[in-house]
């Protein structure tokens, strides 16, 4: 069995895997292409002749040319293809298991503060081009709801439950949300104000119409950031901005995690935003004192001594 033979089986399984989204399959194809490009004649090589040292040598070379996440996913692809060779009985073990994955460093969040955000949306809207107002509304919508860009693009008026004060996030009509689940995100006061304003502007829109009139606005964001001297940020950073403001406002991380659509109980949110919770804890601790101020009254407390 050549590596190409095992790869053909892997690609057939990849194509037929209904649990994977189209973009996931496309990305895996990109990793295959990167692997074959970086390892000369790998496709023609007999899988029995691929050694531990071969894998380690390739890994050392490829790690210097790829980002940690792309490197790790390419290593994972190599392992999965060679697992097929083991499964087929072409070899006894998988030599790629010896390649250590790279450590992925979390992106440093450089987000606008609340004042900068307000100036930014005003700047986008103030350009006064055909879609300037729509772009400003999308920036607000992403920041007020913590949606992914694709999720925001597919929210319709029927998804806006004004009675319960929630927005139903369904994602793409064909592929759903990233985690294949439907979630409800509460309308913060700013979101409610935005939606009510948009509804008044377009009172006759059908319930099936999308709330947002544009799907992306990166050029508008870039221009406004440059004009205001703010560090550039992306659509996805507005999701981080939403989470950051929620945590700084006292919302607990598991709740924020649910609003974002995470399925890990808050583990990822804790990793990304945990330092904000710690800082919030420090700030709140400054309010606690055993010294009685001049305006404080002594309030007698009944304490159950058994409770401890």
pLDDT, tens only, 204-261: 899 999 999 999 999 999 999 999 999 999 999 999 899 888 888 888 888 988 999 8
Which string of DSSP letters, residue by residue, matches the chain? -BHHHHHHHHHHHHHH-TTS-HHHHHHHHHHHHHHHHHSTTGGGSBGGG--HHHHHHHHHHHHTTS-HHHHHHHHHHHHHHHHHHHHTTS-SS-GGGGPPPPPPPPPPP----HHHHHHHHHHHHHT--TTHHHHHHHHHHHHHH---HHHHHT-BGGGEETTTTEEEE--BTTTBSTTS--EEEE--HHHHHHHHHHHHHSTT--TTSBS-S-S--HHHHHHHHHHHTPPP--HHHHHHHHHHHHHHTT--HHHHHHHHT-SSTTHHHHHHHHHHHHHHHHHHHTT--SSPPTT---------TTT-
Residue 289 has pLDDT above 80, yes or no: no
pLDDT, tens only, 172-214: 766 656 666 789 999 999 999 999 999 999 888 999 999 999 9
Set out the domains of the chain in order of their start, with CATH numbers: 3-98 (1.10.150.130), 114-285 (1.10.443.10)
Residue 304 has pLDDT above 60, yes or no: no
Residue 266 has pLDDT above 70, yes or no: no
Task: Between 276 and 13, name the one with better pLDDT.
Answer: 13
pLDDT, tens only, 117-155: 999 999 999 998 889 999 999 999 999 999 999 999 999
Q: Which of 33-42, 144-153, 197-206, 271-280 has the lowest mean pLDDT?
A: 271-280
């Amino acid at each position: 069995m050549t590596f190409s033979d095992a790869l053909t089986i892997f690609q057939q399984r990849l194509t037929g895997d209904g649990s994977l989204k189209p973009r996931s399959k496309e990305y895996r194809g990109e990793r295959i292409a990167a692997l074959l490009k970086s390892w000369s004649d790998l496709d023609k090589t007999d899988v029995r002749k691929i050694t531990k040292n071969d894998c380690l040598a390739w890994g050392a070379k490829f790690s210097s040319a790829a980002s940690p996440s792309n490197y790790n996913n390419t290593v994972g692809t190599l392992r999965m293809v060679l697992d097929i060779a083991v499964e087929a009985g072409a070899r006894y073990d998988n030599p790629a298991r010896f390649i250590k994955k790279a450590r992925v460093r979390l992106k440093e969040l450089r987000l606008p503060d609340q004042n900068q955000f307000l100036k930014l949306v005003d700047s986008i809207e103030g350009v006064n081009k055909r879609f300037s107002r729509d772009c400003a509304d999308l920036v607000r919508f992403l920041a007020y709801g913590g949606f992914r860009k694709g999720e925001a693009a597919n929210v319709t008026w029927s998804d806006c439950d004004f009675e319960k004060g929630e927005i139903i996030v369904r994602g793409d009509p064909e592929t759903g949300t990233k985690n294949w689940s439907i979630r409800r995100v509460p309308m913060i006061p700013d979101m409610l104000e935005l939606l009510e304003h948009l509804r008044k502007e377009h009172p006759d829109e059908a319930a099936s119409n999308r709330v947002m009139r544009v799907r992306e606005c990166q050029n508008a964001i870039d221009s406004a950031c440059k004009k205001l001297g703010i560090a550039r940020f992306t659509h996805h950073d507005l999701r981080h901005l939403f989470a950051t403001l929620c945590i700084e406002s006292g919302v607990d991380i598991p709740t924020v995690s649910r609003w974002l659509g995470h399925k890990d109980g808050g583990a990822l949110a804790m990793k990304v935003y945990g330092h904000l919770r710690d800082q919030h804890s420090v700030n709140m601790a400054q309010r606690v004192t055993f010294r009685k101020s001049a305006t404080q009254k002594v309030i007698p407390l009944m304490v159950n001594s058994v409770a401890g």
